[in-house]
Chain A
Amino acid sequence: MYEFLKNLDRRWIFLLILLAVAIPILGEWQFPEKPSPMVQSVFDAIENLPAGSDIWMAYDYDPGSQGELHPMALAFTRQCAFKRHKMYFMTLWPQGPPMIQKNIELLIKEFPDLEYGVDYVNLGYRPGYEGPIKLAVIDLRKTIAADVDGKSLDDLPMTRDFKNIQEVDLIVNVSAGYPGTKEWVLYASTSYNIPTVAGCTGVQAPYLYPYVPQQLDGLLGAIKGAAEYEFLLLEAYPSLRENPKAQEALRRMGPQLLAHLVLIGLIVAGNVIYFVGRSRGDV
């Protein structure tokens, strides 16, 4: 056994992880969540704004991180729609537009009374890393003159008089890396005192925690943060209970539980091998 574990082929570990993720997905495991104060503060930041506030939805992620970030992005969009906030969607990632498009499709399907150009607008992708933030925060039209379909901002009711990002009441950023939350914090939120909340991947969360609460009003860390957020949203808007798509993150907590337990098991096994090896003089 010791010899088998000592020279364990990595593919056995991969198989274990596969099972740990697949079983809860197929078994549709779902657990209730207990929202942490951090998640609550993100929720309150959007919930406590007066209806019709301007929200800048900066969705900087791509299909690679879709599994981890898309549920929270959809949750943000749903909450803003319930609150009748005005949403300005934009991305700094070249693969980001289809992610925004999915949010737009959600609005069309679940909130048919909201009107494009009046309640929400899709400003699409802008190249240049953090460059567009620096420009749009001073003069939006220097970097974006038209929406994603090429319609002039002067022809859309909600952007006609909109000068720059300083006018918004809140920035909501969902980010998978660079350019992302740090850039929004540096060049928009703190430079011009714009309240900001963010959601990020699990790997980035420890790095972004120092920005809470001064620069960020709150931060959602990966799928766990998203699950707690969805839980709060379901409590506040019970009509969502009928909508399985509004519980995507909650459903993903099953695989997370089992995968974490497997990881702990692997660490323990690794240490047992280490100590047995040491006692035998192998190490």
Chain B
Amino acid sequence: MQSLIVAHGVADFRSEISDLRLLISDLRSQISALWLGLVVGLVLCGSDHLAVAQEPPRSVVDVTATDHPNDVGTTIDVSWTLSPDDDLNIESPVVSAYHVLRKQDGDVDFVKIGEVPSQTETFTDQGVQRKRAYRYQVVTVGPGGESTPVETNETVTPIMEWFRTDRGWLAVIVLVICGAVVAFIAIAKSGRELYIRKIPGLEAVDEAVGRATEMGRACLFVPGIQDINDIQTVAGITVLSRVASLTAEYGARLEVPTARSLVMTTARETVEASYLAEGRPDAYREDDIYYLTDEQFGYVAAVTGTMTREKPAACFYMGAFFAESLILAETGNAVGAIQVAGTAQPSQLPFFVAACDYTLIGEEFFAASAYLSGEPVQLGSLRGQDVGKLLVAALLLIGCGAATWVEVNSSPTAVSVMTYLQNNVLGSGGFLP
């Protein structure tokens, strides 16, 4: 069960990459205000303001139906040009809605399948079957009645695409980043040394557990308030295994309150494994790793209560945190604990930085497992991550350069580079311009 849920969580990383792409896209778009200034004008024929309310409105023009791209063949897009009577400037509206009707090959009559309000020019029909031919009609409706229907000129047959070309570039970026990670893991396996800089926050873990042992007090580990499907919780559990090894070695007590039952079972497995590895299975106390409640503030109340009563000497906050971050860290500070935090929750980082002794910021936190294990295979993944960073930096530079070039000298080449980057590489335009 855990593995399925973890898989669900980790698979989301392609959304993160997609998010990343969008962020880069945004950054450039801010530089080039030109590209944001595209205004799509509505086709309004405001010539006739004399329509009589009692008469049916005039029909729409040019009804077209096209197969919806990049789907399994179950959607058709219908579009039209607004009825000349659909004018916002007319005081009493002549058009209230458009009805869309459909006929499947072999059928005799058109059947109404949907309705959209006035000023709408498109309708998406998601109720069609693959490889069947369809025709559409659009009827303008108003207080005066219905217009004559306008039909599509040709039939349209939806088909299934095998690959989503609109996400082609995303697939390439995913492949490059994942490929780099896999490649560097392979290189590391071959025995090449890889350098990793010192991370003070992780060095502090040893110091904190040592101090707790000297003082004869417990260490408190909070693995965030999210479930095991959140990759930050997985990263937190990795740090927990290191903390557990140290408490096993030094003979300090380790307490882990969790806000999710699945995190509790995972934490128990991990801590038990660390105690076994240190040769101290007898010192492992399952009851010190317990579930409190899923409720955010109920959990905070219980953990801060434990802190005030038991006064742990070291507190670790490693995982996904929200509003509770500062409440926890300030309480820890008040009881005089040495505190180390790690999270990839940007909104909570300032609170931890202000109230804790050491904070692992964002990617440092994810680098923890590689750093702590020291295994070459894990270090390889960090190097792969750097390739991703280079790719992002390159895209940013090219994008910013092209945007500036367009601003200074709007040559057709610069514009086409810019457009391709914006719409295809970072947008959903696919491979072809």
- Size category, B interface: 35 or more
Q: Mark A163-205, 1 if CB is under 8 A from B, else 0.
A: 1101100000000111000000111001101000000010110
Q: B29, B115, B120: which contacts A50 (Cβ < 8 A)?
A: B120
Structural contact, B25 and A207, CB atoms closer than 8 A: no
Answer yes or no: A129 CB below 8 A from chain B CBs.
yes
- Check A190–B322 contact: CB distance below 8 A: no
Q: A166-B124, A178-B320, A206-B346 are in contact. Are A215 and B22 (CB under 8 A)?
A: yes
| Contact residues, B381-429 vs A (CB, 8 A) | 428
CB <8 Å contact, A177 and B127? no
Q: Which residues of A contact B (CB under 8 A)?
A: 10, 50-53, 62, 64-65, 94-95, 129, 131, 161, 163-164, 166-167, 176-178, 185-187, 190-191, 193, 201, 203-204, 206-207, 210-211, 213-215
Bound form: Cα–Cα A65–B323 in Å: 10
In the complex, 9 of the A-B residue pairs with CB atoms within 8 angstroms, ordered by the A residue number, are A51-B117, A64-B297, A65-B323, A161-B114, A185-B19, A186-B19, A190-B22, A191-B18, A203-B323
Name the 6 nearest CB pairs between A and B, nearest first. A50-B119, A52-B117, A207-B347, A177-B322, A207-B346, A214-B26
Complex alpha-carbon distance, A276 and B23, angstroms: 45
- How many inter-chain residue pairs (CB < 8 Å) link A and B? 66
Q: Report B-chain residues with C-beta under 8 Å of the C-beta of A215.
A: 22, 26
Closest to A201 in B: B323
**Is B61 part of the binding interface, using a Cβ–Cβ cutoff of 8 Å?**
no
Q: A52-B117, A64-B296, A207-B347 are in contact. Are A214 and B226 (CB under 8 A)?
A: no
Separation of A20 and B2 alpha carbons in the complex (Å): 47
Is A190 touching B18 in the complex (CB atoms < 8 A)? yes
In the bound complex, how far is the Cα of B428 from the Cα of A176, in angstroms? Answer: 30
Can you list, as one digit per residue, whether each of B106-147 has a CB less than 8 Å from chain A (1) or not (0)? Answer: 000000011101111000101100000000000000000000
CB closest residue in chain A, given B227: A129
Q: Which residues from A are CB-within-8-Å of B18?
A: 186, 190-191
Is B118's CB under 8 angstroms from A10's CB? no
Determine whether the beta carbon of B26 is less than 8 Å from that of A10.
no
Residues of B within 8 A of A191 (CB): 18
Whole-angstrom distance between the Cβ of A98 and the nearest chain B Cβ: 14
Interface residues of A: mostly helix, strand, loop or mixed?
A: loop
Q: Which residues of A contact B297 (CB under 8 A)?
A: 64
Chain A residues contacting B227 (CB-CB under 8 Å) are: 129
Q: Which of B8, B323, B428 has most chain A Cβ within 10 Å?
A: B323
Q: A178-B226, A187-B15 are in contact. Are A214 and B347 (CB under 8 A)?
A: no
Chain B 288-316 residues near chain A, CB threshold 8 A? 294-297
A53 touching B117, Cβ below 8 Å? yes
- A201 contacts which chain B residues (CB < 8 A)? 323
A50 adjacent to B15 (CB under 8 Å): no
User: For residue B348, which residues in chain A have a CB less than 8 angstroms away from its CB?
Assistant: 203
Give A247 Cβ to nearest chain B Cβ, in Å.
Answer: 26
Q: Please, which residues of chain B bring their CB within 8 A of the CB of A214?
A: 22, 25-26, 29
Q: Which residues of B contact A94 (CB under 8 A)?
A: 294
